[in-house]
Structure 1
Amino acid sequence: MTSNQILMATETAHPTLRAAVAGLPSYVPGRRSAGEDIAALASNESHYEPLPAAAAAVAEAAGRMNRYPDMAAVELRERIAAHLAVTAEEVAVGPGSVGVLQQIITGLCDAGDEVIFAWRSFEAYPILVELAGAKPVRIPLDDAEGHDLDAMAAAVTDRTRIVLLCTPNNPTGVPISHERIEAFLRSIRSDILVVIDEAYVEYAETGSGPDSLSLYREFPNMCILRTFSKAYGLAGLRVGYAVAAPAIAEGLRRTAIPFAVTALAQKAAIASLDASDEMEARTAVVKQERSRLSAQLAAQGWTLQPSQGNFLWIRADDDLRARLVGAFDQADIMVRAYPGDGVRITVADPASNDRVLQVMATILAVHAA
């Protein structure tokens, strides 16, 4: 090849994305509200303002935002550890539970390794797995919209490194019982990390899901994943955490992006834990509204599984899903649609929930006709 040919080839070449990235689906967030009359029920955010103590902590910490945060998040990890009766060495933090999950997958998976999860479940799961060069293994939900743990256990191969269990499941709201997870843990290899994703655990009724801390103490290959984005109302600050065996937790801290959890987020999370009574009072109201919505939708004729999250799930084919989304759009209500599967509706304030009931009654009558 002549020097001119080399120059021409160089001039026409351009950087390209990795094949795994080029073919990666984008995470689809819930649509944002564009006006005061819009009911934003597409993202499972808290519909309360931040806890006063958390807002005060952020305001106080803002005066030092010119300084880097504590990369090790020592104070926050110690406070989480005290809250859960574990040690700080067992705690790793990150930018939301999804950020910590990325640390988990990065820390454990090589190219071609497998990560098993239910589907449909949290939409970020396959994206994070593929981004790491690993293989997502989707196991269909059972007839009750929950995890088919027998099928998940049967899907384990020599390349399986992680199993993700979302309880209560997003978007269906169905929890996994303590007994079923315990049996599952006993049935699979001890070198597989089983991640219990409890992003919505604060909204679950006691006993509906697992006692994850007791399971963690018995099974060292288990990891608990939680967030401050939902019940604690810190979605805009991005802070979540994992509880794992010290060696695993240390690896998660190593794979974290430096300074990813801001000082404001760390201080707000600590203040939120200290205001747990107020947070629990808020979640109690959400539970009451969830029960009211569920009962009235059932009375209208809708079929839905009991939810333990701050949302309800309507299984719908594409025709019904389109009708639902169209009717909600007309009523200035934003919900989350999942093509081929259904619609998720966040439980909000009573007035917004009443608007949901009105739309659902109308669309059911039209659909039945």
Structure 2
Amino acid sequence: MFTLLADNLRSILKFYPSDAATITEKLASTLRLNPATIAMSNGSTELITWIDHLLIKSSVAVPVPTFGRWTDQPLETGKRVDMYLLREGNNFDLGLDEYIAFIRAKGSRVAVLCNPNNPDGGYLPKREVIRFMDELADLDLVIIDESFIDFVELERNPSVSLEASIRPNVVVLKSLGKNFGLHGIRFGYQVANPALTRKIAGALPKWNLNSIAETIVFMLADHRTEYEESLKLLARDRFVMAAELSRFHELTVYPSQANFLLVKLPGGVDGVELRDYLLSEHHLLIRDCGNKIGMTSQFLRFGVRPAEEVTRLVEGLRGFARSINDEPDMTTRAMELIMPEPDPARTYA
């Protein structure tokens, strides 16, 4: 895909993109959805903004920690945000019945569910998400954020897009940028019933998609096989990476169905210092989750990477352990527990 983009860059950039209807028709054909149920946007954040302005009138329930815009956006416009705390002791798993009871008790008029969740990668089975939508059929709106749904391997066809398109109050959000690792194209879309879709699409700017995003949309069908193969490789890399990180005895590695892993450091280890060390000494960038509601800097999010990059990460963690063990005021216990010896017999086959 990069080669084709490079070969055609002049013509891609020289001319205006097609109108939204044309691009929507192509995307709908690829996804096998009704084009009347799809609205496209300049990234999913644009959709979150317009959903807040158009469809969230007073209050919204959001599990935390999660993607920050689901709490920040409605707070910025004066809405009440009812935050349902996911418990660390329960691996940040979302208890659906408890969340529904929370929504009822608070009187929330809109409910958000990210599946898989960001930053922990927790996943709810499709049947449970459908039950969630049906239990809350009387709300103003139910939002299912499926930005990372393509990375799920626990079940086939985990998305509830089709089910959402025939319900009166459900919107599903998607992100092609996250799925393809092409964050710079800023391309997201929503799926909902035609009436809701018209309301959202009517507020979006007429030229909110650029020509590169359009070109990617038109390339999707031709590269579906390669994309599905890449998802299998990512699932393998996620398993290997989780296994390697779990060898650090006091690192907590949370189960994930996304393209990242949430890790908790042991007490006494500063996640910000580790982040800065890995960037400066090993040229690896990790996500410190200290600014996420419901978390501290002890939590880090690692993007799933191939085995050779995991090896670099493991070496970086050992280097950080050695560096702080040299500090006289640092207790040795914490870093001894996260510093296993290399196992020469292990391979990445």
Where does residue 252 of structure 2 map in the other structure? 303
Q: 2:62 aligns with which of 117, 123, 148?
A: 117
**1:1-369 equivalent positions in 2, closer than 5 A:** 51-56=2-7, 59-64=10-15, 67=16, 69-71=17-19, 73-110=20-57, 113-142=58-87, 143-156=90-103, 160-207=108-155, 210-216=158-164, 219-301=167-249, 302-316=251-265, 319-320=268-269, 321-329=271-279, 330-339=281-290, 340-341=295-296, 342-361=299-318, 367-369=334-336
What is the CA–CA distance in structure 2 between the aligned matches of 1:203 and 1:217, rounded to whole Å? Answer: 22
Structure 1, 88-97 or 318-327: larger mean CA deviation = 318-327
Classify 1:175/1:361 alpha carbon distance in 2 versus 1 (closer, same or farther; 3 Å). farther
Question: Matches of 1:249 and 1:103 in 2, distance apart?
Answer: 12
In the alignment, structure 2 segments of 5+ residues that lack a partner are: 323-331, 337-349
Comparing 253-262 and 152-161, the one that deviates more: 152-161
- Give yes or no for contact 1:336–1:345 (8 Å, CA) kept in 2: yes
Q: Which amino acid letter does the alignment assign opposite residue 95 of structure 1?
A: N
Q: Which amino acid aligns with 2:74?
A: V
- What amino acid sits opposite 2:219 in the alignment? A
Instruction: State how far apart, in whole Å, the 2-side matches of 1:363 and 1:353 are.
Output: 15
Give the superposition deviation at 1:245.
Answer: 0.6
Describe the shift of the 1:303–1:333 C-alpha distance in structure 2 as closer, same or farther (beyond 3 A): same
Work out the percentage of aligned pairs sharing the same amino acid.
21
Structure 1 Cα separation of the partners of residues 242 and 6 of structure 2: 32
Q: Distance in 1 between matches of 2:133 and 2:227?
A: 31
Q: Secondary structure at the match of 1:236?
A: helix
Q: Aligned-pair distance for 1:242?
A: 0.3
Summarize the Cα distance change of 1:188–1:232 in structure 2 as closer, same or farther, 3 Å threshold: same
Distance 1:197 1:96, change over 3 A: same
Q: Give the conservation status (yes or no) of the 8 Å contact 2:176–2:182.
A: yes
Structure 2 residue identity aligned to 1:357: V
**Greater mean alpha carbon deviation, residues 359-368 or residues 252-261:** 359-368
Structure 1's unaligned 5+ residue stretches are 1-49
When structure 1 is superposed on structure 2, of 234-243 and 190-199 the one drifting more is 190-199
- Please give the alpha-carbon distance, in whole angstroms, between the structure 2 residues aligned to 1:319 and 1:255: 49
Could you say if the C-alpha distance between residues 233 and 333 of structure 1 is closer, same or farther in structure 2, counting changes exceeding 3 Å? closer
Residues 78-121 of structure 1: per-residue CA shift (max 9 Å, x gap): 122223332111100101112122222222023xx112111111
Q: Does structure 2 conserve the Cα–Cα contact (< 8 Å) formed by 1:117 and 1:138?
A: yes
1:289, distance to aligned residue in structure 2 (A): 1.3
Task: Tell me the alpha carbon deviations over residues 153-190 of structure 1, each in whole angstroms, 9 at most, x when there is no partner.
Answer: 12325863322211111111111112322232232243
Deviates more, 1:306-315 or 1:280-289: 280-289
Whole-angstrom CA distance in 2 between matches of 1:252 and 1:291 = 38
Distance, in Å, in 1 between the alignment partners of 2:126 and 2:150 is 16
The answer as to whether partners of 1:53 and 1:275 remain within 8 angstroms in 2 is no
Q: 2:39·2:197 contact (CA, 8 Å) conserved in 1?
A: yes
Instruction: Give how far 1:269 is off.
Output: 2.1
RMSD: 2.6
Q: More relative contact order in 1 or in 2 (CA 8 Å, sep 6+)?
A: 1
